[in-house]
Amino acid sequence: MLQWLDSLSWGWIVLVCVTLGLAPFNPPHVLEKLGMLWQGELVRPIDWFDLVMHGAPWVVLVLKAVAVLLQRRS
């Protein structure tokens, strides 16, 4: 189901996490948007877009890590 993760190298995933995932760096947008989500203040569409855009690389990183761990286990 997640074979597309095999085609992504760790280097590219980490690079995208560090650049897009942490932009604009002070504070990272993803942390700001997660805080807004936690407080129930994430209501504007642009905020949801920001959360998805800056959070997607981290989701891919976690999915790749889980896929590798499951492959090693079997």
Residue 7, pLDDT score: 86
What's the full length of the chain, in residues? 74
Domain that holds residue 20: 3-73
- Check whether 58 has a pLDDT greater than 90: yes
pLDDT above 70: percentage of residues in the chain: 97
Where are the alpha helices (H) located in 1-44, listed in sequence order?
10-19, 29-39
* Cα dihedral 15, 30, 55, 61 sign: positive
How many Å apart are CA 4 and CA 42, to the nearest integer? 31
Predicted model pTM: 0.84
Is the bond into 28 cis (omega within 30 degrees of 0)? no
Residue 1, pLDDT score: 60
Q: Are 63 and 2 in contact (CB under 8 A)?
A: yes
Domain count, the chain: 1
